Amino acid sequence: MQPEHTDIPNLLEDLKRTVRQALDEDVGSGDITAQLIPADREARARVITREDCTVCGRAWVEEVFRQLDPELKLRWHCEDGDSVTAESVLFELEGNARAILTGERTALNLLQTLSGTATTAARFAALAAGTGVKILDTRKTIPGLRTAQKYAVLCGGCFNHRIGLYDAFLIKENHIAAAGGINTAIRQARGIAPEALVEVEVENLQELREALAAGADVIMLDEFSDADTREALALAKGKAKIEISGSVDADRLQQLAALDADYISSGSLTKHLRAIDLSLRIDL
């Protein structure tokens, strides 16, 4: 597995579980406010974005309303990954008023969060445009929304690092110390899962040389200076891919992308997101 390769269908396997949990925490034993509305009242509604954004979360929204009332009809005006402008209608709803209002907050919470992630990813992708570097996410995701956020990163034009602790090795400082060194750690990794990608985080050029000698597939440079990064790239050429990490934000991304590494990873894609301002308007 290479960091940029992710099987999108696998990211959606837990969608029903995610939505069910989100509805359970909001609806609980029942929406008592929705009971103010006659049970057979029909309504139409529109969801509007108050700001420019990259849309993500259609499947999660659809699953919210499917679980509440499969008879509700949704009509989308955009696709995941589309860039839309403020005041655009994202989708329309028609059906039982109680179901629409009960699902409103859960649907918007998921849509605004995933669209916020995709919007950040789109901004990072634009900053790296024209370079050969791939912008990767990390495991710094909202608990319970790992696969959803990683899907959103793809919608924004960036790429996925490993999904979790199970699909690739990422040997960091504490692993190296506990295993007895870089060479020992990599050798053991090859024995545990021969087909898995092995990545090693290094803090200086000497550790980089050790990782190269031990046959790491990817080497993550943690807080390297630009000068040391250039030297690391020269040393690793043809031997291992290089990933830049540490203090990567939008302000520094263009400078780092110009160094021409294979990857730049940033937790900012998922952990520093700002939810998009959305609004649901209902017509009875």
Q: What is the pLDDT along the chain (284 residues), one digit of tens a residue?
A: 333 444 555 666 789 999 999 999 999 999 999 999 999 999 999 999 999 999 999 999 999 999 999 999 999 999 999 999 999 999 999 999 999 999 999 999 999 999 999 999 999 999 999 998 999 999 999 999 999 999 999 999 999 999 999 999 999 999 999 999 999 999 999 999 999 999 999 999 999 999 999 999 999 999 899 999 999 999 999 999 999 998 787 878 888 988 989 999 999 999 998 999 999 999 87
pLDDT number for residue 250? 80
Q: Which of 123, 46, 51 is nearest to 90 (CA)?
A: 46
d(CA 107, CA 113): 10
| Superfamily the domain 8-124+273-283 falls into | Quinolinate phosphoribosyl transferase, N-terminal domain (3.90.1170.20)
User: How many residues are listed for the chain in this entry?
Assistant: 284
Q: Which of 68, 61, 72 is nearest to 34 (CA)?
A: 68
Spatial contact of 155 and 58, defined as CB atoms under 8 Å apart = no
69 dihedral zone (left: phi>0; alpha: psi -120 to 50; beta): beta
d(CA 275, CA 227): 37
pLDDT number for residue 284? 75
Where are the CATH 3.20.20.70 domain residues in the chain? 127-271
d(CA 247, CA 118): 20
Where are the CATH 3.90.1170.20 domain residues in the chain? 8-124+273-283
The catalytic position among 44, 46, 139, 172 is 172
Spatial contact of 24 and 63, defined as CB atoms under 8 Å apart = no
The catalytic position among 31, 63, 104, 201 is 201
The catalytic position among 222, 228, 231, 277 is 222
For domain 127-271, is the CATH number 3.20.20.70? yes
Residue 172 a catalytic site member: yes
The catalytic position among 20, 105, 209, 271 is 105
pLDDT number for residue 229? 94
Residue 140 a catalytic site member: yes
The catalytic position among 20, 44, 46, 140 is 140
Residue 209 a catalytic site member: no
pTM: 0.92
pLDDT number for residue 248? 83
d(CA 257, CA 255): 6
